[in-house]
Chains A and B, each alone.
Chain A
Amino acid sequence: MSAVITLPRSNRGAGRKSAPVPAYAELIATSNFSFLRGASHPEELVAAAMHMGMSAFGFCDRNSFAGAVRGYVAARDFEERSPDFRYLVGVRLCFADGTPDIIAYPGDRAAYGRLCKLLTLGNQRGEKGKPRLVFSDLLGAGVPDDRDDMGPAEDFSQGQLFILMPDEGDWALNAAVLARLTGVAPDRVWVAGVPRFDGEDRARLNRVDALARRHGARMIASNDVLYHEPDRRIVADVVACIREHKTLEDAGFLLSANAERHLKSPKEMARLFAEHPEAIAETCRLAGQIGFALSQLEYNYPEEVVGNGETAQQTLERLTWAGAEKRFPEGLPPGTREQIETELRLIDEKRYAAYFLTVYDIVQFARYEKGILCQGRGSAANSTVCYCLEITEVDPRKANLVFGRFISTERDEPPDIDVDFEHERREEVMQYVYQKYGGRRTGLTANVITYRSKSAIRETAKVFGVSDDMINAFNQLHWGWGSGVDLKSVAGLGLNPDDPVLAQMFEVVKVLRGFPRHLSQHVGGFVITRDSLESLVPISKSAMDSRTIIEWNKDDIDALKILKVDILALGMLTCLRRAFDLMETQYGHKVELAELQSEEFFYPERAAPVYDMTNRADTIGVFQIESRAQMSMLPRLKPRVFYDLVIEVAIVRPGPIQGNMVHPYLRRRQGIDKVEYPSKALEAVLHRTLGVPLFQEQAMQIAIVGAGFSPGKADQLRRAMAAWRRTGKIAQFGDEFISGMMANGYTEAFAKQSFAQIQGFAEYGFPESHAASFALLVYASCWLKCHYPDVFACALLNSQPMGFYAPSQLVRDAAEHGVDIRPPDINCSNYDSTLEDGAWDAKAHIRPRHAEMKDVIWTQKALRLGLRQVDGLAQKDAERIVARRQDGYRSIRDLWLRTGVPVASLEKLARADAFASLGLNRREALWAVKGLIGTYGAETLPLFAAEPQLETPQDEPAGLPMMAPGEEVIHDYSTLSLSLKGHPVQFLRPMLMARGTTRADNLVHVANDVVVEVAGLVLVRQRPGTASGVIFVTLEDETGVANIVVWPKLFEDDRLRKVLLSSRMLAVRGKVQSEQGVIHVIAQDMEDLTPQLLDLSHGKDYGEKIVARADEGKSGPPGSQSRDRQAIREEELARRRAYAAMPSGRNFH
């Protein structure tokens, strides 16, 4: 991800062009990768330096190279403009022992390696994010104890060029440090002369000059730059306050006196150093001595994976052909041999064989030694070679994938293979990698955490002294990633959008958004080298899991052409693994991913019911296509073949939605619009998606094929797209793109439209190569759900938390598909949910709306919910109960004595009604549990009950009032987050009937535009950033779900907003809109039914009575006033209690 470069506004004093510009290079510049110090992106600094006509620019962050590659990429992007400009990488060494800062520039590649090692040493010794170096480290005199695995002390100063930044307060120290530096590196030491504008500059420069001369060094001119333009001083002030946890009001001298630490033009610097022109000349002399650039970093891949005596390529070819025989037992299909040969040739040419082998090795280990389910994806994973090597499961022929793109020769971009593993077992794979290659050759890529809108607002507002609750209020204004921060919205909080503090604050927020905050570790991107990694890039170690982490993120690595393997975790793979295991143990049917895909391809008739199911949007719980947006797309898109799933996965993304590509695609697919292509060339790019670009790759190809972009330019466009939208970055490419398209004979209208579409990808496009791999998991999960809803639900429940739905919806969905669901019970359940024999006939229990699946559901088992469903129950307690169960527990006391499980856990079980097999209801069980310790005292503790089986202890009878059914259901929800006894709404049905409320399952029979009322539990309130303020609400009643659309207008109404946000049960009146089987209710009015719902929990029967009372009309309720108040109070209490029990609805922003 690269940040935006805005060229600096005209700089003061830089306007006139008469005198020749003196040669000057700024060599001390700190970027915002010196966290909370620098106030400009590396790219901004580089662009400004180029623009000012500097001959070179030195980039040196504090004890880090983290931002160095950003600057390098920016310099490379602008190479055509200023071919002579040199970008130099250095580091500002900041010491913990009071030594003044020293800027070090590596003179050559070896010196760079030494600097990396030095920084690694500092990282290992300091805390996370706070490297610790002392002066003696630099000179190689470090204390041996500190060095653990660093090997013998090394003279890191060798080959470096040094600039000493004098300490203004201690000139004796400066002299001492300078003496030692010149001692080890004569002729390679400078002292920085920096004008500070404090009225003493003349004296200062003379003093520095004299000091340097005394030690045979030279003064070098610099401005000790913190930002690229004067206005950023404001940001520098704010980040300083963030760093020191101060507000502007109390920051005092922490705030800068002036804005002079900006990048200054050579002319201006020459003027400031008019009395010391040689200090200006020294900048070029120093730059001239540097023979290192980041482009020299050569990367080599490990060769452990190469077979005996072979080259990497030979090994790869051998394994590929062997794999091909296994993949295609009936012989290679036509064209495949040629395809493999082409790919191998390309891999050979680019020398990527070792990379493929490394991935192959990891996958083989996971799959065959550990039995972990895994699947590759990414551009290189599209290849037939990967399919043969079993890295991927998707046969490229079947997924329409074009391998040619996987490594485009001209773009010279490294291949990309991500491998997903079961999320619970990925750690084993990572350990394997560390064991095999060792910590000094293996590192995780970094993840640069940047300020997002919310964090930027939070931190900035604190500095501006805004109160915490105001900050919270700001952050509830849904400032999403893409949306800009607009002051207009604060008016909604009752604040004045013209308030100067707010206006200033939000202006700073705009800049701070996208600033790096800290480095964290990437989820699984491994860089593995043949030799030492620490001389390639500084490494740090995470304290928690002792993983090694490099300082660069994946974009940096891409830019330097370093290869990485992504070892990722995917919950759905865990779920599928469990499901496949259940299939084997319960049904004796061995299922594999590749086999499922073959079946889909070779026996379309067997796949038909699976696609039928998706066409009905019956996809709760399956991979990727389960969200509400996906579900409303399915009946329109009606997938019939595998590639349709690939499109389905990619189309419901902000990219295509923002680019307005969804509707054109659907219209073409439904035959409403004609499929046409603007040109033959673009037909090749777009024919798979009917002429509408849907994938990120296509956007790139349009730029190359249509607009004639160079691959490098297209790559910049890609990076701009991948980055979040900031001011005008993508727009910069717009003119070029449009004129390029027109030059190639496209109309201007089409060119503009294409570019607008591509811009949409700024909000995240989705690569086709990923979509294809995901689509296979989609198909596999759909297949399971279609044929074995019991297995599918069981595996899903045991893999929670994952996916979009809560257990209650998953269980309910399974029940609707005819699965016999049984409650958790101490005598029947394991920790996980299990399948039991003795199921009923599933076909007889399928709900009418799934009736057409009667013949494709093959379920024969019952699903027994596991004790894991019991809220808050510790896994070890549950497991002990299972382990000591033998032939069952006879009483609660028996259970307690045999297991010694804490009473608190037994309480949780009692509340969850898990003692039914003992004949105890929830109240009786709770009564018994509560009495365990108190009644008989210590002598009955398990410790003293050596022979508990002599006499089975009995639970004393309780004689408590029974719970009403509605109350039971509410209590089930509060402890299990689901109920098998009923749905809360069904107990309110008489009242709802009286109101004339429509049941969710009856909505299909309602004609368009008819106004109805629906009511149900609020499952989800969603306000996607792509829907311009529209809120989607999902209501659930006992018959199904209703989808509500709330327009922003309605949300502005105070009463309705309150009702919408706070209700757990909601009644909505609105117009029905039905399109191709997708039904929405467009809300016009809403009412909070939560009180009625919650009355259930107090055993009130909302049956006929409530209706009668409602009919009675206006006559007031009987009873005295105080009596009435008491009732209100009680109700209130009951409400509060039950309020906590009901799901609050998930909110998405």
Chain B
Amino acid sequence: MASHTSLLDPMSGRLLDRRFLVLFLPYWPTDYLKRRDPALSAPLALYERIKGGLRISALDRETGAEGIKRGQNLADARALVPGLTVMEMTPGLLETGFAEFADWHSNASPLVAVMRDAAPFGDLVLDITGVDHLFGGEKAMLGRLLTRLRALGYSVSGAIAPTIGAAWGFAHFAPNQVVDGLALADRLDDLPVAALRLTEKQLATLDQMGLYRIGDVRGRPRKPLQARFGASLLNRIDQAYGHVSERMTPRLPPAEHYTERRFADPISRMEDVLATAAELAVVLCQRLDAAGLGAQSFHLFLYRVDHRVMTFSVNSGRVTRDPRHIAALFSHRAERLAGDYDAGFGIDMIRLAASSLDALLAVQAGAFTEENGTADIDQLNDRMSSRLGTMAVLRMQLLESHLPERAARLVPVQAAGETDGPELPQLTRPLRLLPEPERVLISAEVPDGLPAAMIWRGQRYRLVRAAGPERLGAEWWRRGERLQLVPPPVPRPPAPGEKPAPPPHVPALPLHDADGQTRDYYRVEDETGRRFWLFRLGLYGGPELPVWYLHGLFQ
């Protein structure tokens, strides 16, 4: 959707017939996260990696009040603000969040755009031409929007003006006012030049020249200004004063590949929604097919007549463009919706969009290709996962660990991926382990001779063959024990007049005993050919006697 072309104001010759409302949310990212997770408390700051350093990228009001700035070194900020909570910035999450936040404002005006002139999150512009009467006038409208946002916990200021540039400038530098076309020039002249959405460099140069206010600049000859600050400065001035129009790009629609359907009479039943989704899926998949693409994520946007947008998303385990599969995923998803679905006064438009696109070439099925069933299993997994939830369908994945009981774990089948884990070292081990190692009695030569006999569950086995030991040390870093690699230092006798140094802190943790946790594994075989996997926990020579366990059986 392009911006509306404006008519010239017959009196002034300016483009002043439109009205814009700009909302400025200086602490949006932190406000948003706090709203999502009420456990987060002030002071809170987000950081990101910039040029190898960790720098503050967003902060909340409290942190700002402590004098912390964006771009500051994270460690400095921590030192300056005790109790500061920090999180790594997640641009993806915030991006989506801010997009939703922007869309939500479509209940005030259908034309909402995100402004990224100053920061990726924080500025919204609404074209409110002709809608303010719904709120009882511009002043009331601005008040309503601000009050509503503040009630939700957002720090916000805003302004209404005839141009986007001016509204932005007022929202940032002289907020909470409604400026009409007649007062515009006077009020703008008074603002600092930063209100023009200029680059850092332009601002710095203006400052060096001693030109602090917009009025200082506007009156100067244009040609020398252009020579020194570039055309963009003049453009910004003209935009703010309404000498040229500025385009705004409304947020919706978002996706590249989508289909939509409008309803003359709003619908509201879930069945109708799903039926529409299935129809849209056919159209969408045709388009994807034409582009040689498939997708992993599909989103259903339900536009309510009251300017709210509901979104449902489903994910597929592998890239697909099978409309039946997609429709099925949505209907499974719908089963889990329960009370989340609310059509309000009805839905007047539904849009189906695809994301996580990837190339998917058409293949000929059947004939000479081998149907090995993996595709079916994948679809089954998808169906089960979307019906039961992703954590309900699991599979084994191998891990790199020397300890047998840690060498595998369960992961959601959709997340497992193709690779089958690490290449295992060449070791002879039983396929299955006992649920818990079981205590056994063993007779063997000390310290690490081969076992000769075993008593397990009260029964005696004479062992005729044995191999080992395979020695496995404890995973020392996992045990939460105190290491003592260096003997405690002998304190230096204090020089005359010097206070003796305080003893170093010794953590209250059990001391790591490497020998006591070392296992020696043996493969043994009894007279009848039964083969066992045994280990002895602990080495001889320590304070406690080693103990034997049976850990697995060879089949």
Residues of chain B in range 487-529 having any CB-CB distance to chain A below 8 Å: 487, 489-490, 492-498, 504-505, 507-509, 514-515, 518, 521-523
Does residue B481 face the partner (Cβ distance < 8 Å to A)? yes
Least CB distance, A474 to chain B, in whole angstroms: 9
**A1057-1081 Cβ-contact flags toward B at 8 Å (1 or 0):** 1100110000000000000000000
**B168-207 Cβ-contact flags toward A at 8 Å (1 or 0):** 0000111111000000000000011010000000001101
Report the separation of the CA atoms of residues A232 and B504 in the bound assembly, to the nearest whole angstrom: 22
**A898-930 Cβ-contact flags toward B at 8 Å (1 or 0):** 000000000000010000000000110011001
Q: Which B residues are CB-close (under 8 A) to A507? A: 482-486
Known: A15-B541, A728-B490. Is A1130-B470 also a contact (CB below 8 A)?
no
Chain B residue with Cβ nearest A476: B75
**B194-228 Cβ-contact flags toward A at 8 Å (1 or 0):** 10000000001101111110001000000110111
Does residue A705 face the partner (Cβ distance < 8 Å to B)? no
Known: A497-B507, A753-B496. Is A927-B228 also a contact (CB below 8 A)?
yes
Does residue B69 face the partner (Cβ distance < 8 Å to A)? yes
Q: B487–A1058 contact, CB under 8 A?
A: no
Residues of chain A in range 4-44 having any CB-CB distance to chain B below 8 Å: 6, 12-13, 15
Q: B54–A931 contact, CB under 8 A?
A: no
Q: A469–B86 contact, CB under 8 A?
A: yes
The A contact surface, by secondary structure, is helix
Does residue A813 face the partner (Cβ distance < 8 Å to B)? no
Report the separation of the CA atoms of residues A312 and B126 in the bound assembly, to the nearest whole angstrom: 93
Does residue B3 face the partner (Cβ distance < 8 Å to A)? no
Most buried by B among A200, A760, A962: A200
Does residue B399 face the partner (Cβ distance < 8 Å to A)? yes
Does residue A197 face the partner (Cβ distance < 8 Å to B)? yes
Chain A residue with Cβ nearest B402: A257
Does residue B83 face the partner (Cβ distance < 8 Å to A)? yes
The contact of B507 among A257, A464, A500, A727, by CB within 8 Å, is: A500
Report the separation of the CA atoms of residues A1126 and B477 in the bound assembly, to the nearest whole angstrom: 55
Least CB distance, B413 to chain A, in whole angstroms: 22
Does residue A1125 face the partner (Cβ distance < 8 Å to B)? yes
The contact of B208 among A253, A926, A1122, by CB within 8 Å, is: A926
Q: Which A residues are CB-close (under 8 A) to B54? A: 468-469, 472
Q: B207–A1137 contact, CB under 8 A?
A: yes
Known: A199-B428, A500-B507. Is A923-B208 also a contact (CB below 8 A)?
yes
Q: Which B residues are CB-close (under 8 A) to A237? A: 476-477
The contact of B78 among A469, A659, A730, A958, by CB within 8 Å, is: A469
Q: A934–B228 contact, CB under 8 A?
A: yes
Residues of chain A in range 1096-1149 having any CB-CB distance to chain B below 8 Å: 1098-1099, 1122-1123, 1125-1126, 1129-1130, 1133, 1136-1137
The contact of B509 among A500, A752, A962, by CB within 8 Å, is: A500
**B516-551 Cβ-contact flags toward A at 8 Å (1 or 0):** 001001110000000000000001111000000000
Least CB distance, A929 to chain B, in whole angstroms: 9
**A736-775 Cβ-contact flags toward B at 8 Å (1 or 0):** 0000000000000000110111011000000000000000
Least CB distance, B145 to chain A, in whole angstroms: 17
Q: Which B residues are CB-close (under 8 A) to A233? A: 473, 514
Does residue B443 face the partner (Cβ distance < 8 Å to A)? no
Known: A511-B485, A911-B208. Is A197-B470 also a contact (CB below 8 A)?
yes
Does residue B47 face the partner (Cβ distance < 8 Å to A)? yes
Q: B228–A469 contact, CB under 8 A?
A: no
Q: A498–B507 contact, CB under 8 A?
A: yes
Residues of chain A in range 560-608 having any CB-CB distance to chain B below 8 Å: none
Q: Which B residues are CB-close (under 8 A) to A935? A: 223-224, 227
Does residue A504 face the partner (Cβ distance < 8 Å to B)? yes
Report the separation of the CA atoms of residues A251 and B210 in the bound assembly, to the nearest whole angstrom: 58
Report the separation of the CA atoms of residues A922 and B209 in the bound assembly, to the nearest whole angstrom: 8
Does residue A335 face the partner (Cβ distance < 8 Å to B)? no
Interface size on B, residues (CB 8 A): 93
Least CB distance, A265 to chain B, in whole angstroms: 12
Does residue A259 face the partner (Cβ distance < 8 Å to B)? yes
Does residue B136 face the partner (Cβ distance < 8 Å to A)? no
Chain A residue with Cβ nearest B467: A199
Known: A13-B541, A1133-B192. Is A469-B47 also a contact (CB below 8 A)?
yes
Q: Interface-forming stretch among A326-334, A485-493, A618-626?
A: A485-493
The contact of B427 among A198, A503, A510, A1058, by CB within 8 Å, is: A198
Q: Which B residues are CB-close (under 8 A) to A956? A: 224
Q: Which A residues are CB-close (under 8 A) to B515? A: 12, 230
Q: A934–B495 contact, CB under 8 A?
A: no
Q: A253–B427 contact, CB under 8 A?
A: no
Q: Which A residues are CB-close (under 8 A) to B473? A: 233, 256-259
Known: A930-B228, A934-B228. Is A500-B480 also a contact (CB below 8 A)?
yes
Q: B227–A473 contact, CB under 8 A?
A: no
Does residue A484 face the partner (Cβ distance < 8 Å to B)? yes
Residues of chain B in range 240-258 having any CB-CB distance to chain A below 8 Å: none
Q: Which A residues are CB-close (under 8 A) to B228? A: 927, 930-931, 934
Interface size on A, residues (CB 8 A): 97
The contact of B211 among A199, A486, A960, A1054, by CB within 8 Å, is: A960
Q: B400–A253 contact, CB under 8 A?
A: yes
Most buried by B among A468, A731, A931: A468
Residues of chain B in range 8-39 having any CB-CB distance to chain A below 8 Å: none
Q: Which B residues are CB-close (under 8 A) to A488? A: 504-505
The contact of A199 among B79, B223, B468, B484, by CB within 8 Å, is: B468
Residues of chain B in range 424-467 having any CB-CB distance to chain A below 8 Å: 425, 427-428, 447, 467
Q: A472–B514 contact, CB under 8 A?
A: no
Does residue A231 face the partner (Cβ distance < 8 Å to B)? yes
Chain A residue with Cβ nearest B492: A759
Q: B226–A1125 contact, CB under 8 A?
A: no
Known: A508-B483, A760-B495, A1129-B173. Is A199-B427 also a contact (CB below 8 A)?
yes
Known: A199-B468, A260-B471, A756-B495. Is A1062-B80 also a contact (CB below 8 A)?
yes
Known: A197-B469, A488-B505, A1125-B175. Is A253-B422 also a contact (CB below 8 A)?
yes
Least CB distance, B263 to chain A, in whole angstroms: 46
Q: A197–B471 contact, CB under 8 A?
A: yes
Does residue A710 face the partner (Cβ distance < 8 Å to B)? no
Report the separation of the CA atoms of residues A995 and B468 in the bound assembly, to the nearest whole angstrom: 83
Residues of chain A in range 933-976 having any CB-CB distance to chain B below 8 Å: 933-935, 956, 958, 960-963, 971
Q: A931–B224 contact, CB under 8 A?
A: yes
Q: A484–B427 contact, CB under 8 A?
A: no
Q: B518–A960 contact, CB under 8 A?
A: no
Chain B residue with Cβ nearest A254: B400
Does residue A679 face the partner (Cβ distance < 8 Å to B)? no
Report the separation of the CA atoms of residues A488 and B399 in the bound assembly, to the nearest whole angstrom: 36
Q: A473–B79 contact, CB under 8 A?
A: yes
Does residue B102 face the partner (Cβ distance < 8 Å to A)? no
Q: B481–A500 contact, CB under 8 A?
A: yes
Q: B227–A510 contact, CB under 8 A?
A: no
Does residue B401 face the partner (Cβ distance < 8 Å to A)? yes
The contact of A503 among B211, B509, B514, by CB within 8 Å, is: B509
Residues of chain B in range 257-288 having any CB-CB distance to chain A below 8 Å: none
Which A residues are within 8 Å of any B CB, using their own CB? 6, 12-13, 15, 197-200, 202, 230-235, 237, 248, 251-253, 255-260, 464, 468-469, 472-473, 476, 484, 486-488, 493-494, 497-501, 503-504, 507-508, 510-511, 658-660, 727-728, 730-731, 734, 752-753, 755-757, 759-760, 911, 922-923, 926-927, 930-931, 933-935, 956, 958, 960-963, 971, 1054, 1057-1058, 1061-1062, 1098-1099, 1122-1123, 1125-1126, 1129-1130, 1133, 1136-1137
- 14 further A-B contacts with Cβ under 8 Å, apart from A469-B54, A728-B489, A963-B210, are A12-B515, A199-B468, A252-B399, A257-B471, A258-B518, A469-B47, A488-B505, A494-B82, A499-B507, A500-B509, A727-B489, A727-B490, A958-B209, A1137-B204
Q: Which 6 interchain pairs have the tightest Cβ spacing?
A: A252-B400, A934-B227, A199-B470, A500-B480, A197-B471, A930-B228
Pairs A–B under 8 Å by Cβ, sample size 11: A13-B541, A199-B521, A257-B402, A257-B473, A476-B75, A504-B482, A752-B493, A934-B226, A962-B210, A1126-B191, A1126-B192
